[in-house]
Amino acid sequence: LHIGLQIFHWKSQTNAEIFCEEQRSHLASIHSIDENNFIIELSLSDAPYSEKTWIGLRDLRRPTGISEYSWMDGTQLDYVIWERYVSVNASRCIAISTDAFYWVEHDCNQLSAFVCKRPAKIFHWKSQTNAEIFCEEQRSHLASIHSIDENNFIVELSLSDAPYSEKTWIGLRDLRRPTGIRLQIFHWKSQTNAEIFCEEQRSHLASIHSIDENNFIIELSLSDAPYSEKTWIGLRDLRRPTGTSEYSWMDGTQLDYVIWERYVSVNASRCIAISTDAFYWVEHDCNQLSAFVCKRSAE
């Protein structure tokens, strides 16, 4: 299970552990091949690249010279996967060799990537909002779940804990606005195909009627991956033969709020998007594949 693992960069092992403790965690301990492989994947997928990744294993070498390994988080040393050759580094600090997948002795002062690990914990008797506030005070969040193993672990954690609760909060929420509006972000369609997709979901490309709604859609775009410079909304220009613009929302609602880019557009496109970084609306090539937001009213 990989709950609470996060990668950071460029500290010695001692300073990495200090940093992790400030996050109310420890340098990662490893207790299975799956956990070892996950940390390697985390290291390889992250930028910038580091040849070694600190874990929380250290050698409490006695005066006799005999090694005695211990995890910094106090858990049992019940799994090891050492480099095949015998180390001559004689360092007390242990890291994962990112490419070789094995554990190696590593210069304790070397600035390397490192992984902090926070154990999953269960708490009781809060609303979801207050539960998330509590978790944030612990420098964490309500659990997200990305595999059947993670789901099963949380169920087991809930069942093994007292007192018993029929339901256990996780960090999933419906982004429905207080008005009953639901907004959801998707990716990589032209404006026309994005609207077709939204209609298949019984919704429309989003219309925007306030600065709060505009900001919420921008936050939704910025918090989502993959990143898109522009995000389609449901505004289009029904430009008349005279060349005069006439803007209309695809969901048929009134155009009662606008927030245009400060400069005058020369794109002459009829399709409107939000510039994700600039926060304003801009004309955008109608055929460009971009992120888009579907909006559905409460039924």
The CATH number for 181-297, chosen from 3.30.460.80, 3.40.50.1820, 3.10.100.10, 3.30.413.10, is 3.10.100.10
Distance CA 19, CA 142 (A): 22
Per-residue model confidence (pLDDT) at position 176: 47
Distance CA 73, CA 51 (A): 24
Q: Is residue 95 scored above 90 in pLDDT?
A: yes
Tens-place pLDDT, residues 36-82:
888 888 888 777 888 999 999 998 876 666 778 999 999 899 899 98
Every domain of the chain with CATH number 3.10.100.10 lies at: 5-117, 181-297
Is 0.75 surpassed by the pTM of this model?
A: no
Q: Which amino acid is at 204?
A: H
The whole-number average pLDDT for the span 243-269 is 77
Per-residue model confidence (pLDDT) at position 5: 79
Instruction: Decide which of 247 and 225 is more confident.
Output: 247
**What fold is seen in the domain 5-117?**
Mannose-Binding Protein A; Chain A (3.10.100)
Q: Is residue 1 scored above 50 in pLDDT?
A: no
Q: Tell me 282's DSSP state.
A: E
> Among 85-89, 154-158, 227-231, which is the least confidently predicted range?
85-89
Distance CA 69, CA 82 (A): 12
Q: Is residue 171 scored above 70 in pLDDT?
A: yes
- Name which of 221, 208, 223 is nearest 281 in CA terms: 208
Distance CA 74, CA 80 (A): 16
Residue written as tokens 């506030």?
133
Q: Is residue 156 scored above 80 in pLDDT?
A: no
Residue written as tokens 């298949």?
200
Confidence of residue 264 (pLDDT cuts 50, 70, 90): very low
Measured in degrees and rounded to the nearest 5, phi and psi for residue 260 equal -80, 155
CA 103-105-110 angle, to 5 degrees, is 110
Residues paired with 259 in a beta bridge: none
- Helix extents (H) in the chain: 13-22, 33-45, 128-137, 148-160, 191-200, 211-223
Q: Is residue 106 scored above 70 in pLDDT?
A: yes
The answer to whether 140 touches 118, Cβ cutoff 8 Å, is yes
Per-residue model confidence (pLDDT) at position 241: 60
Per-residue model confidence (pLDDT) at position 110: 94
Query: 74 — alpha (psi -120 to 50), left (phi > 0) or beta?
Result: left
